Structure formats: C-alpha cells, structure tokens
Amino acid sequence: MSFINRSPILSGCVAFSIGLWALPAEAITLATSKGEFSFENFSHPVTFGDVSIDTSSFISPSTPKPQGGIVETEGDVFFDTALGKGANVLFSEIFLPQPTTASTDGVASLLGNFAIGANDVFSFNFFGGVSVNTSVDQPSKEAATAFSGAGFLLFDITDAANPILLDSLGLFGRTSTADNNDILDFAFDSPSNISISNSSFDRQFGGWVESANASVSGMYQRTFSSDTIVSLQEIKNTGADSSAIPEPTTSLLIGGLLSTGVWLKKRRANR
C-alpha cells in the first residue's frame, strides 16, 4: 500500500492480518518486532515529500489453523512538510496458542527532498529505535524469530541520474529461538556530520525467551560548498516468524537498504 501526495501533510496507516481471532488465555509462541523513526527541526523547507507502507502476512496451509491468536503487521507514517516534522512506526506480531508456521512483515518509508544553497548548513534532529522479542514454551515443537531494521540515508540528487550517497545511520535487531544468530547492531557514517546525544542498548540473548532493544537520538548537520538537492530517505522493515518443528523456519528476507552489509559497502561522496 503506497501513498503519494504533494499536500503539506502526508500520512498513511495500514494493517495486514490473517486470522485475527479471540486472544488465547496463554500463548506458547510469541514474536514481536517494532521499528520507529522521527525527524524535526529541518533547517530548510521540504520541496517534495512521499510516504509509503507495505505489509503482508502468511499462515502455512500445512499446519493446523490455530484456535485463536494474532498474525499481523501494522504501520503508521506521518510527514508534515510545512512544519518539517515526520514520524514512521511499524510493528509486526505473532501471538499463537499452538505450534504453527506463520510469518508477517512490512516495510515503511518516508522521503523528503531539500534545496540547499552554496555554503548553507543543512540540519535536522532525529530519533530512532528498534525492539524485537521472541518466546516459546515448547522448544522441541516450535521456534520463533523476529527482526527489525530502521535507519536513514542522505543522497545528493543534484544529478538525478547519478545519485551520490552522502551519509547513513542504521539500527538492526534480530532474535531467534531456533539458532544463535541473535544481533543488535548500530552503525553510522561521518561523525563530523552525525552527532549522537542519547543512546540505549539492551540485549537478552540465549534460552527460549530473548529480546533486543536499541534507541538513538541526535542531530545531523552538513555544510554544502555548492547548490545541492538533498534527498532524505528513511526506511524500516519489521518481521515476525513462527515455525512448527520439524518444518523449517520460514525464511524472512532482511533486504533492501537495511541489510547490514549496505552500511559497510557504500559509495562515499567527496564533498
């Protein structure tokens, strides 16, 4: 589901669920993931804005339909281009009373373009966070996985055919009861342009109840030596997965801009 609008206020809200039944008194499989980002105090007006949300959910027909529970991803994105404020939240959840193979995930994004004059300083404040949780009661019969990635990238799009990646910041978390590939990662470029004022990281890995939470806030600031069109692209994806063993855990794509390798392999600008 996408939203494209040139009006001052851009917004979208969507939820995709399969089998939204009465909540069970007790769940044996739980997987949740959340990603969020917000921006404010832009030094320059937004010349173009866009927001989008896409979600999907799936329950394998090879496992019995659960008697109650939730398999859902929901998102909410808001961008007031006149006031220079934007926020984006995405949440995926699986809450099931019996071993079931199911998955739910989504991608939400916010885009803003800015015209920066020669020798101007472009700046804004930001806050971002990710949170993932997994829990199972019967590890011999079930597995749960959750992931969340959130971050932003800034491009020089003065030459629209050849955009140049200037700076980026990303958060990523993953927990899984089926393996030891639990992750909580944070990376950003150009310490001279990105200053972190507050950060928090908490990991609880191992066992059948796991969690990972991270949040950062700070300021972006960069001086441009010539007239430049800058594009701020914020994107996040979340996902939750449950598997009835011995059926293998459903593969969840952690791709696009938020895969961890992208933060290490990028074209650097020589400005």
Other Cβ atoms less than 10 A from the Cβ of 18: the count is 15
For 113-138, what is the mean pLDDT? 96
With respect to residue 54, please indicate whether it lies within any of the assigned structural domains.
Answer: yes
With respect to residue 270, please indicate whether it lies within any of the assigned structural domains.
Answer: no
* Amino acid making up residue 154: L
| Amino acid 266: pLDDT | 37
With respect to residue 269, please indicate whether it lies within any of the assigned structural domains.
Answer: no
- Higher confidence at residue 14 or residue 111? 111
pLDDT band at residue 141, thresholds of 50, 70 and 90?
confident
Ranges 4-18, 184-198, 218-232, most confident: 218-232
| Amino acid 29: pLDDT | 84
Q: How many folded domains does the chain comprise? A: 1
With respect to residue 93, please indicate whether it lies within any of the assigned structural domains.
Answer: yes
- Higher confidence at residue 152 or residue 88? 152
Distances (CA, A) of 239 to 4, 30, 100, 102: 24, 12, 16, 11
With respect to residue 271, please indicate whether it lies within any of the assigned structural domains.
Answer: no
The pLDDT of residue 147 is above 70: yes
With respect to residue 139, please indicate whether it lies within any of the assigned structural domains.
Answer: yes
Parent domain of 241? 2-263
pLDDT band at residue 246, thresholds of 50, 70 and 90?
low
| Amino acid 43: pLDDT | 96
Q: In what order do the strands lie in the sheet with 164-176?
A: 2-3, 48-59, 102-116, 228-244, 142-156, 164-176, 183-188
What CA–CA distance (Å, rounded) separates 142 from 147? 17
| Amino acid 121: pLDDT | 98
Nearest one of 84, 186, 206 to 134, comparing CA atoms? 206
Dig out the tokens for 102 from the structure: 């199911």
169-173, 197-201, 265-269: the lowest-pLDDT one: 265-269
| Amino acid 66: pLDDT | 67
The pLDDT of residue 115 is above 90: yes
- Higher confidence at residue 268 or residue 189? 189
With respect to residue 268, please indicate whether it lies within any of the assigned structural domains.
Answer: no
pLDDT band at residue 98, thresholds of 50, 70 and 90?
confident
With respect to residue 129, please indicate whether it lies within any of the assigned structural domains.
Answer: yes
Please state the three-class secondary structure of 2-61 as a single string: EECCCCCEEEEEEEEECCCCCCCCCCCEEEEEEEEEEEECCCCCCCEEEEEEEEEEEECC
Note the pTM of the prediction, 2 decimals.
0.81
| Amino acid 61: pLDDT | 78
Q: For 43-78, write each residue's pLDDT tens digit.
A: 999 999 998 888 888 888 777 666 778 888 998 888
For 112-135, what is the mean pLDDT? 97
